[in-house]
A and B are shown apart, each in its own frame.
Chain A
Amino acid sequence: MRLLLKAIIVLCFSLPIIAADEPNSTTEIPDVNTIVNKANIMAYYQGEDGKAKVNITITNKQGQTREREFIILRKDVNDGRDQKYYVYFLKPADVRKMVYLVHKHVDLKKDDDRWLYLPALDLVKRIAAGDKRTSFVGSDFLYEDVSGRSLEEDTHELIETTDKVFVVKNVPKQPDTVEFSYYNVAIDRKTFVPMKMQFYDKEGKLYRVIESKKIEVIQEFPTVVKSEVRDLKTGSKTEMEFSDIKYNIELEDIFTERYLHRPPREAMR
């Protein structure tokens, strides 16, 4: 399920659906690991690479909004589990042209490699691995929502099956490392797209909800093009919209220092 999270966010690029060759077995219910793995594979490892423009709107309790806009490029390393991300910021103005580069490692023992490029100083800064449950660009999404939570970090249990979704409960193996006690994910039975994730705090109270609000089929891949996270404790919410989504764009290895100094054309158009 780990990836389900990410799925919601990043999946936009990668969400090809396997459902096509997986006839709707409405009668047959796969076991939970199959569901989780399928959602994971569907969310991350379909298509060689992808591109999207992302608009984030953060609305706090008082109704004040802040916006972020960036272009994100993604490429899978060898069909393996590792991936590379290139994030080119367009808004707000003070971070325009900043680049955030991640070499993501799925191995729990290996931290992701991260760089930040600050154009005004021509500075390539290496960023120390951080707590993945901190806010992503000041929004209600967390780094882990974007860059991933390993399936091995949680135990998974299928707790409900309806006409439309499987509901999987995920309990962290190391509860001390996270702020939730468990979270439930509703996964579309046909497409394996995670439709809703609900996080419960240590007292068992629902406090955080991520929902897939709009799904489109892009290059035959069902893709979440709009998702929303609501923090029930702070009263703030963040909406994330994806546009200009393309899969299999034959990205070269642009995930290097060369392309920090000067972004690839794919990131600028």
Chain B
Amino acid sequence: MTAPSSTPALQQQVTLLELVDRVLNKGVVLTGDVTLSVAGVDLVYVGLRVLLTSVATLERLDRESR
């Protein structure tokens, strides 16, 4: 699905971000399966913050190009 205002690059970045967010933060949790190592999660989120920043940048570029 694409919305009228999104560039392919922005779409792709956001899709990846939303995917990681779903896999790590949503979905059913059964007791006994929740102890993700803090270090591991932090690593993923450092990556996500970088991604979020690039989304903001892309969003600006996207608007400037219109």
Mutual binders A and B: no
B residues at A contact (CB < 8 Å)? none
A residues at B contact (CB < 8 Å)? none
